[in-house]
Amino acid sequence: MTQTLPLTAPTPPSLLADASSRLEAALQHVNLSEDALGRLKSPKASLMVAIPVRMDDGSLRVFQGYRVRYDDTRGPGKGGVRYHPSVTLDEVQSLAFWMTFKAALLNLPFGGAKGGITLNPKELSRAELERLSRGYIDAIADFIGPDVDILAPDMYTNAMIMGWMMDQYSIIKRQVSPAVVTGKPLAMGGSAGRSTATAQGAFNVMTTLLPKFDQQPSNTTIAIQGFGKVGAALAALLYEAGYKVVAVSDSQGGIYNPQGLDIPAIRAYKSDRVTRRNSLQSVYCEGSVCQLAHHEVVSNTELLTLDVDVLVPAALENQITAANAADIRARYIFEVANGPTTSTADPILAAQDIWLCPDILVNAGGVTVSYFEWVQNRSGLYWTLPEIHQRLQTKMVAEAEATWAIAQERQTSMRTAAYIHALNRLGEALDAKGTQDYYVER
């Protein structure tokens, strides 16, 4: 009998509904109790807050903020905070849903959570960003904690912003509480390797799985949509390993050179552009790779359809949809962004024999090193960068191999295999609290 996971809300949010639909195929391969299914139908808690901020010109603006804890059966909630104009409760719930399965897939003692504020952060001054970040913590302080829900950086948030948040929480609680936030500056209890953890983890997964298809660095071309802090770091790692990165893009557009791009030069260019424009270089990178005139300029949409071996969506959700999936020419896709491929696009890609490695595995390096940071904060013992890299590689390679083995054994996609792997762990933890079969004697 096929098990399904319906949503309980009268009008299911589209993003969350799309995210949960991915479980249907996995549920056919796991023996999940009805109790476990019931608990995974909807978020455990969702919080919406208004954040008043006094702007530099004296005016008052009120921003909308969110924090969602989807499930905490395996441990405290864990998830980032993003600053972006597209942030909605629907999006944050979907991201918290993915975090739940990501933590289970990597066998971390966390549940899934996520947060965000709806704004364009580049429009705010540094002082305004600090007041906003501290105001967000003022609003959600009773909803989070080192043993309840732990924050981390996400889109357009970084170590400094995380430091402000940790400091504000400590002020409210009247005690230094470094473990409430990960991704902090090293001087405030941050972990070595956290800023590049998502990229490093994605690199570990790619270099573990691509050789299974005889894709060696010298004969593999790669296009990366998204040249932010994750995409740029991943591009550098791949370039250094000998892979041919032929296209990259940011929010303003992209560049393409079939002979390969000089990734270090492009990263240096972006940094120089920021410095020359006297923008918020210590907080955000605003230079655009599409302004490098000696390369062919392509749009973000065009980059997705380039004739390359590997496509890496590392930007926003819903980039590969039913409308453009048939135009994808890459042979392999590694999802570094959260939810870059819609459920309606999956069968179209499969029909073209395009192999896809899902986001909950590929981008799990961030939450894994966040776990390391949380452990270090609580123990007071800190590891070196080589130790962090080795621990991360061990985790990512082990779970990539385990997911690959499930996919081969069950003859499923890697996405379904990842959800099977995570559901088995989640189901075991949920059922450990007792099920109907335990309480009712047959």
Do residues 336 and 278 share a domain?
yes
- C-beta atoms surrounding 263 within 10 Å: 21
What contacts 396, CB < 8 A, 6 or more positions away?
Answer: 106, 201, 204, 205, 208, 364, 365, 368
- Collapsed DSSP state (helix, strand, coil) of residue 197: helix
64 in the same domain as 163 = yes
- pLDDT the model gives residue 19: 72
Query: In the prediction, which pLDDT does 9 show?
Result: 39
Residue type (1 letter), 384: T
pLDDT tens digit at each of 442 positions of the chain? 344 444 443 444 467 777 777 777 888 888 877 777 777 888 999 999 999 999 999 999 999 999 999 999 999 999 999 999 999 999 999 899 989 999 999 999 999 999 999 999 999 999 999 999 999 999 999 999 999 999 999 989 999 999 999 999 999 999 999 999 999 999 999 999 998 999 999 999 999 999 999 999 999 999 999 988 899 999 999 999 999 999 998 877 888 989 899 898 888 877 664 444 432 233 333 455 555 545 688 888 899 999 999 999 998 888 999 999 999 999 999 999 988 999 899 999 999 999 999 999 999 999 999 999 999 999 999 999 999 999 999 999 999 999 999 999 999 999 999 999 999 998 887 777 766 666 676 5
Tell me, yes or no, whether 138 and 274 share the same domain: no
Q: Which amino acid is at 320?
A: I
Nearest alpha carbon to residue 167 among 189, 196, 148, 143 = 189
Radius of gyration of the chain from its Cα atoms, rounded to whole angstroms: 21
Catalytic residues: 114
Task: Output the pTM of the full model.
Answer: 0.86
Q: Which amino acid is at 302?
A: E
For residue 301, being part of any structural domain is answered with yes
Treating both helix axes as pointing N-terminal to C-terminal, what angle do 89-105 and 14-21 enclose, rounded to 10 degrees? 20
Same domain, yes or no: 136 and 253: no
Q: Which two tokens stand for residue 250?
A: 């940011």
Supply the CATH number for residue 221's domain.
Answer: 3.40.50.720
Q: With contact defined as beta carbons under 8 Å apart, do 157 and 185 qualify?
A: no
Residues of the domain holding 304? 197-353
The answer on 201 and 165 residing in a single domain is: no
Same domain, residue pair 160 and 243: no
Select from 335, 353, 371 the last residue of a domain: 353
Tokens in use for 36? 């476990």
Sheet of strand 149-153: strand arrangement: 45-54, 60-71, 112-118, 77-84, 149-153
pLDDT of residue 11: 43
Residue 251's SS3 state is coil
The domain boundary residue, chosen from 329, 353, 377: 353
CATH number at residue 67: 3.40.50.10860
What span, in angstroms and rounded, lies between the C-alpha atoms of 429 and 424?
A: 9
Q: How far is CA 432 from CA 41, 109, 420, 425, 435, in A?
A: 18, 15, 18, 11, 8
Residue 391 lies in a domain: no
Same domain, 147 and 248: no
Q: Which candidate, 149, 100, 176, places its Cα nearest to that of 377?
A: 176
Query: Are the beta carbons of 82 and 155 closer than 8 angstroms?
Result: yes
Co-location of 168 and 210 in the same domain? no
DSSP 311-368: EEE-S-S--B-TTTGGG---SEEE--SSS-B-TTTHHHHHHTT-EEE-HHHHTTHHHH
Residues 164, 205 within the same domain: no
Q: How many domains does the chain have?
A: 2
Answer whether 6's CB lies under 8 Å from 17's CB. Answer: no
